[in-house]
Structure 1
Amino acid sequence: MYLDNEQHFSIEQITAMLLSKLKSTAEIDLKRPVSDCVISVPYFFTNAERNSMLAAARIAGLNCLRLMNDTTAAALTYGIYKDFPAADEKATIVAFVDMGHSAFQVSICAFNKGKFKVLATAFDPYLGGRNFDEILVEYFCSEFKTKYKLDVKSNIRAFLRLNEECEKLKKLISTNSIDIPLNIECLMNDLDVTGKMNRAQFEELCAELLKRIEIPVKSVMEQINFKPEDISAVEIIGGAIRIQAVKEKIIQLFGKNISTTLNADEAIAKGCALQCAILSPAFKVREFCIIDVVPFPIIMKWTTKKNAPEEIQEIFSQNDPVPASRILTFVRKGPFELEASFKDSKSFSQPEKNIGKVKPCKFNRIRPKASVVANVERALPMAKNMLFIVKEMRELDRLEEERNDARNDVEEYLYSFRSSLYGPNFSEKVNEDLDRIKMLGYLNQIEEWLYEEGENVAKQVYLDKLLELKVSIRNVSFSIGHRSEQQLGLVHTIQNKIDVTI
């Protein structure tokens, strides 16, 4: 629902909403408009997914200077302020292991003074903290079905509550080895449920998930023929990396203790901020060169005649350094079509393989200049359509925000004055039997209106009601203050007469 109307939103639009909120938060903190940014994405994002992210940024009114891979951003945070060997000396090799909500990524980087190079990457796009949550949810769903005869999955609200509690339980298990209780009041059918879990049980349930960590770690080492002793340090980031069993698995695979010098939650965001500052002429930042890699092999295909077999050439291999370019020479007498796509491989399992295509169709003595146009058939047209209405929706959002602020002002003023009635300064002036009851009755009327008739009215109505509230309270306060002064004067007169008599 959007403004009480049913709406259908694309993933790009939902992402744009998130980016808009982040943009608003940054502007409030910085007290100035924000436009330029750098956005991080997982290594395994395809060309279409990256273009969708750029489309979302445009919808949100952001100028994305660069998309940066997650672990590359973390590596920038790690290396920009450290001292490393000179360029002609042996590099410091650091592994970055990231497990977030839904994905697991590993990168190995070589650091020298003023630069770093990503050597290899590997990932499991379907292994993250939510998988561990799901294990706990399944366990307790089964237990509650046996113990309480409750089918938690049949009730969405109950299922979501159980998910929330299991996430909390997972965090507690990560820091405690004793039995941790799980208590949920009125989960379903007015029944309170209880359960418990300890770290040993949890690790036994998650054994298969922990085995999956081995695959990317071994893969990234095999890609560059490294052994654990070749790694100088292992940095861990991401929320789910705090799970004790995950830490122990990483220590086992790399054969050394893990390092936690980076903030697990903020390292990637800080790296993006640093990259944005490096790209911006408005900031002076230490020069730092970043050489990333191609996560998937990229091939070029072309045809010359109908029904003729395609000619294929691999133009980028996995882990080739980027940014980079390739020059291809074609000697053709007739029209042909070029198509760039990801090569089928063990590391690439996405359905969208196409990157872009170009079809030179007119030939003369001038050498044609061809460029690959990204295939964003679903992302870019949607973004263009959204840009036509984004200003209108943004204006509606602004008006709705102002309306809510006006409503909150009425509510805040009401509660603030009500609490002041019982304060020491006011209690001395207020007659318990008359003034306080009268004022509380008026405030209760306003509160009743606010939560019933005034629940969803226009901004101006709230502004008028706030003015009415302030005027009424001011008049009553003046009346009480005037009467208090008269009473105080009478007391002084009586006191003077008593003094004279004595």
Structure 2
Amino acid sequence: MSVVGIDLGTLNSVIAVARNRGVDVITNEVSNRATPSLVGFGPKSRYIGEAAKNQEISNLKNTVSSFTRLAGRSINDPDVEIEKDFVSAPLVDVGGQVGAEVTYLGKKEKFTATQIVAMFLTRLKATASAELKLPVADVVLSCPVWYTDAQRRAILDAADIAGLKCLRLINDTTATALGYGITKTDLPGPEEKPRRVVFVDIGHSNYTASVVEFRKGELAVKSTAWDRHFGGRNFDKALVDHFAKEFKEKYKIDIHENAKGKFRVIAGVEKLKKILSANQAAPLNIESVMNDIDVRSMLKREELEELVKPLIERATIPIEQALAEAKLKPEDIDAIEMVGGCTRVPSLKNAIQEFFGKSLSFTLNQDEAVARGCAFSCAILSPVFRVRDFSVHDIVHYPIEFAWEKSDDIPDEDTSLTVFNKGNVMPSTKILTFYRKHAFDLEAKYAKPEMLPGKTNPWIGRFSVKGVKADAKGDFMICKLKARLNVHGILNVESGYYVEETEVEEPIPEPPKEENKDGDAMDVDAKEDKDEKPKTRKVKKQQRKGDLPLSAGTAALDQASKEAATEKESQMIMEDKLVADTETQKNELESFIYELRDKIHGVYAEYANDDEKSRLAAKLETIEDWLYDDGDDATKAQYVSKMEDIRSIAGPIIQRYNDKIEEERQKVLKKQQDAHAAKQAELERKKREAESKKQAEAPPEPKDSEMSDADTLKPDEIEEPSA
């Protein structure tokens, strides 16, 4: 079983996997550790990730980016209006959700942001499977802290469509904190002062600051604040606007009127910004930006800092908010961990460092920390991995309330209740109690809509409770509903049941015996009857009697819509595969033509007669002409057929060549075998000769019945027998 964590970023996404007693980042098909978060649509197939990046400039209107910021939103959301500046494909309404209208397979199609996220996850799933040589099913996905219930449901729906089981949808900074804490062996114990760390994550489009307390084996998020429109792309926009003004004066061109020209400038300033992070000045040279005009310019770091000054002035606001919510001061913080690509900007680092008055820490990989934390989370949740126990306590960021209709039988009943307050630990379960005689509905929504991103609808879901009726005496049924904010940060009413109150007798606990001066318990009533029964009292207790059926309506896709989207995705995967296979077959045919044309006058020349050579040359020329004319857009079957046509002539020639090669190989093999056999025979002969020579040189051994000269007795040594 694979254990995979995915950092779903706005610009790039990273895949990490737990293996080899650690966490590795998986490279994609071109060996990059991050995959561009792009999905493009073409006349034959889709382009996803690296393929979409390669054709982006030539296919701007059909390439969708920033889809993680669009998922779960409506077209009327002000944040979606902001995204139109960064997404080149036209954004439209698709059944109440924001989506993109693109040209796919030669016709106009509309896809929701959820579907586009699913397409991208399908590519990441294939990348991970290819690397691990295992099917990938279980994953942990990251998301921005500020995501609402609807946005979180959209990402989970996308994972389902892509055939992935999301074990946890984890907040970006929580994943980073987990990756930081789980590897630390020097965290304070339960009774000691916790280690307080501020995680500052500034990526391509988001800025998040979290205050996290660490103790041995656990982390607790104390507060989080964010700026949804602060990141690398905002720095790029400031630079693009600066150069647009300069080019208008200097070259009389307006890049804002030309989408491709603007894109080329965005790509150029992105590189320029990175160079200025390490150098004092950098050039900008772009060939044919628009109207065949080349542009040149130069920018100093001081000029860049002046251009982004409004952004730098906002740099510490999220940190101040997070510290205020946690009721802490900068001096209470033990470390400030910086992650995210934008934290490489020197002026941004300086502003944050001055605020804290201490050095910043860069111990985590700025681009991969979130993905690594996701992989650790997946390993913890997976039954096949043994990981050090580490508890993660996240918090609720938007208060949630339930509202219901007032019961006619209870005129003074409240009709709403805030069940999950901001700062509550998550996941969390609450039991709601209602007294009813009939079925009823309740609605969940965010208690403070002004806190939500953009103008998000505060509605979360509607839950209907069935099977409610008065009891035999006409009294209320006591209904209990279990409301749970789960690990994904999603609210559900998981179950409902009803209880009955019954009177039961329970013993009254005896008061503690008084102690005498010596410390021994005194017998208060020496005359107490030892056989007296203990005193009891009657109390009312609730006993569960049965379940109440529930039905729910939420922002999540219904089963039918999800199945339709899954089927559509499977169909598009098959079309992509067919196009890829067709392209492979076409390339093989082209390579085969060039290979034969070269070899027929080379290694194959002596194995073909003149007639075969002329027929093969004519066939190759005919098929090559077809390949670059009508065959440029042929089917896989046509390419296979043309390959067979060539093989019908070239096959016998190639076979003769292969037979000759095999014959020569067998001769060489036999020669080697004969030489080996002769060598073995020679070794055996020499061995026998050596043994014979050794035997000839050895002295003969005496027989048992004979005596040697040394053993012969002299006459005077013979003893006479005694008389």
Which TM-score band (shorter chain)?
A: 0.7 to 0.9
Q: Which of the numbers 366, 381, 387 marks the counterpart of 2:566?
A: 387
Verify: 1:407 aligned to 2:511, yes or no: no
Higher relative contact order (CA 8 A, sep 6+): 1
Distance between the aligned counterparts of 2:295 and 2:616, measured in 1? 46
Paired residues for 1:51-90 under 5 Å: 51-83=153-185, 84-90=187-193
List per-residue Cα deviations over 1:107-143 (Å, max 9, x = no partner).
1111111111111101111111111111111111111
Provide the residue aligned with 2:690 in structure 1.
none
The secondary structure found in structure 2 opposite 1:328 is strand
Paired residues for 1:16-31 under 5 Å: 16-31=118-133
- Contact preservation (8 Å) 2:400, 2:420: yes
Q: Which of the numbers 361, 364, 369 marks the counterpart of 2:470?
A: 364
Provide the residue aligned with 1:315 in structure 2.
419
Verify: 1:221 aligned to 2:320, yes or no: no
Q: CA offset at residue 190 of structure 1?
A: 1.6
Paired residues for 1:61-210 under 5 Å: 61-83=163-185, 84-178=187-281, 180-210=282-312
List per-residue Cα deviations over 1:49-108 (Å, max 9, x = no partner).
000001111111111111010011111111111111112211111111111111111111
- Contact preservation (8 Å) 1:55, 1:380: no
- Contact preservation (8 Å) 2:129, 2:136: yes
Distance between the aligned counterparts of 1:120 and 1:419, measured in 2? 71
Distance between the aligned counterparts of 2:650 and 2:639, measured in 1? 16
**Aligned pair count?**
477
The secondary structure found in structure 2 opposite 1:331 is strand
Paired residues for 1:224-373 under 5 Å: 224-304=326-406, 311-332=415-436, 336-344=440-448, 347-350=451-454, 351-360=456-465, 362-365=468-471, 367-370=478-481, 372=493, 373=552
Distance between the aligned counterparts of 1:233 and 1:304, measured in 2? 51
Distance between the aligned counterparts of 1:472 and 1:101, measured in 2? 58
- Contact preservation (8 Å) 2:148, 2:452: no
- Contact preservation (8 Å) 1:71, 1:107: yes
Provide the residue aligned with 2:576 in structure 1.
397
- Contact preservation (8 Å) 1:355, 1:375: yes
The secondary structure found in structure 2 opposite 1:9 is strand
- Contact preservation (8 Å) 1:97, 1:237: yes
List per-residue Cα deviations over 1:376-418 (Å, max 9, x = no partner).
1668764343134333333333323322332343455567x49
Q: Which runs of 5 or more residues in structure 2 are unaligned? A: 1-102, 472-476, 484-492, 494-551, 607-612, 661-723
- Contact preservation (8 Å) 1:80, 1:286: yes
% identical equivalent positions = 38
Distance between the aligned counterparts of 1:374 and 1:67, measured in 2? 21
Indicate how the Cα distance of structure 1 residues 481 and 38 shifts in structure 2: closer, same or farther if over 3 A, else same.
Answer: closer
Indicate how the Cα distance of structure 1 residues 377 and 55 shifts in structure 2: closer, same or farther if over 3 A, else same.
Answer: closer
- Contact preservation (8 Å) 1:52, 1:380: no
Q: Look up the equivalent residue of 2:639 and give its one-letter code.
A: Y
Paired residues for 1:353-502 under 5 Å: 353-360=458-465, 362-365=468-471, 367-370=478-481, 372=493, 373=552, 375-376=554-555, 382-411=561-590, 417=595, 449-466=626-643
Indicate how the Cα distance of structure 1 residues 412 and 213 shifts in structure 2: closer, same or farther if over 3 A, else same.
Answer: farther
Distance between the aligned counterparts of 2:631 and 2:201, measured in 1? 49
Greater displacement, 79-88 / 474-483: 474-483
The secondary structure found in structure 2 opposite 1:256 is coil
Q: Look up the equivalent residue of 1:218 and give its one-letter code.
A: E
Larger % of strand: which? 2
Indicate how the Cα distance of structure 1 residues 332 and 98 shifts in structure 2: closer, same or farther if over 3 A, else same.
Answer: same
Distance between the aligned counterparts of 1:336 and 1:155, measured in 2? 57
The secondary structure found in structure 2 opposite 1:32 is coil
- Contact preservation (8 Å) 1:87, 1:112: yes
Provide the residue aligned with 1:499 in structure 2.
none
The secondary structure found in structure 2 opposite 1:203 is helix
The secondary structure found in structure 1 opposite 2:555 is coil
Provide the residue aligned with 1:488 in structure 2.
none
Distance between the aligned counterparts of 2:361 and 2:351, measured in 1? 14
List per-residue Cα deviations over 1:357-393 (Å, max 9, x = no partner).
2233633345435453462166876434313433333
Q: CA offset at residue 478 of structure 1?
A: 8.3
Q: Look up the equivalent residue of 2:215 and give its one-letter code.
A: N
Q: Look up the equivalent residue of 1:396 and give its one-letter code.
A: E
Indicate how the Cα distance of structure 1 residues 187 and 469 shifts in structure 2: closer, same or farther if over 3 A, else same.
Answer: farther
- Contact preservation (8 Å) 2:207, 2:231: yes
Distance between the aligned counterparts of 1:439 and 1:238, measured in 2? 60
Compare CA radii of gyration and give the structure with the larger one: 2
Indicate how the Cα distance of structure 1 residues 124 and 414 shifts in structure 2: closer, same or farther if over 3 A, else same.
Answer: farther
- Contact preservation (8 Å) 2:286, 2:294: yes
Q: Look up the equivalent residue of 1:359 and give its one-letter code.
A: S
Indicate how the Cα distance of structure 1 residues 245 and 401 shifts in structure 2: closer, same or farther if over 3 A, else same.
Answer: same
Indicate how the Cα distance of structure 1 residues 256 and 381 shifts in structure 2: closer, same or farther if over 3 A, else same.
Answer: farther
Distance between the aligned counterparts of 1:394 and 1:478, measured in 2? 39
Q: Which runs of 5 or more residues in structure 1 are unaligned? A: 430-435, 484-502
Greater displacement, 387-396 / 244-253: 387-396
Distance between the aligned counterparts of 1:138 and 1:308, measured in 2? 60
Q: Look up the equivalent residue of 2:183 and give its one-letter code.
A: Y
Give TM-score scaled by structure 2 length: 0.60
Q: Look up the equivalent residue of 2:207 and give its one-letter code.
A: F
Q: Look up the equivalent residue of 2:206 and give its one-letter code.
A: A
Q: Look up the equivalent residue of 2:312 and give its one-letter code.
A: L
- Contact preservation (8 Å) 1:55, 1:379: no
Distance between the aligned counterparts of 2:198 and 2:406, measured in 1? 46
The secondary structure found in structure 2 opposite 1:340 is strand
Provide the residue aligned with 1:487 in structure 2.
none
Report the RMSD for the aligned CA atoms in angstroms. Answer: 3.5
Paired residues for 1:13-52 under 5 Å: 13-52=115-154
Distance between the aligned counterparts of 2:267 and 2:404, measured in 1? 52
Q: CA offset at residue 246 of structure 1?
A: 1.7
Give TM-score scaled by structure 1 length: 0.85
Q: Look up the equivalent residue of 1:213 and give its one-letter code.
A: A
Distance between the aligned counterparts of 1:340 and 1:72, measured in 2? 26
Greater displacement, 37-46 / 455-464: 455-464
Indicate how the Cα distance of structure 1 residues 367 and 187 shifts in structure 2: closer, same or farther if over 3 A, else same.
Answer: same
Indicate how the Cα distance of structure 1 residues 414 and 232 shifts in structure 2: closer, same or farther if over 3 A, else same.
Answer: farther
Indicate how the Cα distance of structure 1 residues 317 and 481 shifts in structure 2: closer, same or farther if over 3 A, else same.
Answer: closer
The secondary structure found in structure 2 opposite 1:364 is coil
- Contact preservation (8 Å) 1:217, 1:253: no
- Contact preservation (8 Å) 2:436, 2:478: no
- Contact preservation (8 Å) 2:433, 2:479: no
Q: CA offset at residue 462 of structure 1?
A: 2.6
Q: CA offset at residue 168 of structure 1?
A: 1.2
